[in-house]
Amino acid sequence: MKTLPLFALEAIDHLVQPADFDGTALTSPALNVLVDFKHSQPNTILASATAADALALMQQDQTKIKLVMDNKDQLTGLIHLDLLSDQAIMRHVASGENRQDITVADLMRPRERIKGLAYQQLKNCTIADVVNTLQSSGEQYCLVIDRETHQIRGIISAQDIARRLRMPLTIQQAPTFLHIFDSISG
């Protein structure tokens, strides 16, 4: 049996992470950026959770997106950190709601307004195709649906893609009346 020599760490030695060996590029398969719920637990929150609790939980989990579930474990929407902003909450307060009573359900993007891609399509696409789709739709994220089994299979986030590619990724959200009103009144 051998005793191996130990040595001190040098200042130039750095901690590596899986992303350092990722090799992800725009030409890589689109499935490489899918957070696949077959392999990882989806980030969820109950629709009845208060906005304050949701914000604290998202900050603690260091996540910007959570799927919103009802008490029967059915998807009812999606909440993004931006939807929990003081400005969004103040809109509800201005309409007479008590700040402590505002729930995730009051602020979430409802299920019928969530965009999705077919899992079957992604099998033949590149990350560049997904980036182009997100940019042209103005979406920061989309769910991935297995159209054959009708299962919500995963989620793709522009922020995750940018981090994996190690490059900035700009998604211009299509203007809505609410955005225009906010920019005029802000």
DSSP string, 135-177: HHHT-SEEEEEETTTTEEEEEEEHHHHHHHHTS----PPPP-H
CATH code assigned at 42: 3.10.580.10
pLDDT at residue 186 in the model: 47
**Is 14 among the domain residues?**
no
- pLDDT 10s per residue in the chain (186 long)? 988 888 888 888 878 777 666 778 999 999 999 999 999 999 999 999 999 999 999 999 999 999 999 999 999 999 999 999 889 899 889 988 899 999 999 999 999 999 999 999 999 999 999 999 999 999 999 999 999 999 999 999 999 999 889 888 888 876 555 555 554 544
Instruction: Answer yes or no: is 7 within a domain.
Output: no
151, two tokens: 């299962």
pLDDT computed for residue 185 by the predictor: 47
Task: Note down the domain range covering 93.
Answer: 24-172
Residue for token digits 């509800």? 92
> Does residue 2 fall inside a structural domain?
no
Residue 8, domain member (yes or no): no
> Looking at the 3D structure of the chain, how many domains does it have?
1
Instruction: Give domain status of residue 3, yes or no.
Output: no
Contact 51, 102 (CB under 8 A): yes
In a domain, 11, yes or no: no
CA atoms within 13 A on the CB side of 134: 25
Query: How far is residue 182's CA from residue 179's CA, in Å, rounded to a whole number?
Result: 5
pTM of the entire predicted model:
0.79
Could you tell me if residue 120 is inside a domain? Answer: yes
Collect all residues with Cβ–Cβ distance below 8 Å to 118 and sequence separation of at least 6.
Answer: 144, 145, 146, 147
Please report whether residue 39 resides in a domain. yes
